[in-house]
Amino acid sequence: MNEGERPQVDHRHVAEQINAATNFTMYAVFAERRGAEGERAGSPPGDVAELLAALERIEGLQTRGWYDISGFRADADLLVWWFAPTTDALQRAYRTLWEWGGGRLAPVWSNIGVHRAAEFNRGHVPAFLAGDAPKEFLCVYPFVRGRDWYLLPDAERGKLLREHGMAARDYGDVLANTVASFALGDYEWLLAFEADDLVRIVDLMRELRATEARRHVIEETPFFTGPRRPAEELLLRIAR
């Protein structure tokens, strides 16, 4: 596919329906626990099929993907992306997986966000809510704006955000998912990029560094990146 042929994502036809609903999302990151000699820690986990069936029974819960993030970081191995109309469903999923692990999974990082209509472009909605299929690779990170950002005149903030959006215009093949997390954790926003080519995410992130809006970001770590994998594959690795 040539650069000029890259698909462009347009969610305006479903945006108002999405904006009218309440949808929460959770990114849950775990590490596989091992002893000093590299041996498995904890008790053997439960049956993989039973775990997946238990998650299926949680009302409203949807799974965007299971991701192998081992090696991208030294402190984490597994990321699970869930979304649901309630935080209760997300918490139940989190506890179900953690308890299934029998002590072999250690929580590393977990955050919940909620979709809110974009301030200046109501047609900008998360790809996972618009029905776009998940891509092969995922990059998740939080960010916090500087205190001055929210005191800027609307016209100035709108201009900066439009410029920021234009920097991504050549990356229509990269799906963007931004949700608000004010008061839900330590961050203001959670962002997830999805792409079939990991380098496209790398290049997009570099492009976004060269925008004026970057001057108003004071925190945007940690990053969690890795490929999407079948749940059974990752869970059997933990269980063996």
Residue 68 forms beta bridges with which residues?
A: 78
Nearest one of 213, 157, 219 to 185, comparing CA atoms: 219
The number of residues making up the chain comes to 240
In the chain, the DSSP E strands lie at 24-32, 62-68, 78-84, 105-114, 137-145, 175-180, 189-195, 217-219, 224-229
From the annotation, which residues make up the binding site for Fe-coproporphyrin III?
164
Cis check for the bond before 222: say yes or no (omega within 30 of 0).
yes
Opening angle at CA 136, ends 197 and 40, nearest 5: 120
State how far the Cα of 47 lies from the Cα of 151, in Å rounded to an integer: 52
Alpha-carbon distances, residue 28 vs 66, 154, 157, 176 (angstroms): 10, 34, 31, 18
Nearest one of 5, 6, 19 to 196, comparing CA atoms: 6
State how far the Cα of 240 lies from the Cα of 213, in Å rounded to an integer: 47
| 165 touches 212 (CB < 8 A) | no
Active site residues: 141
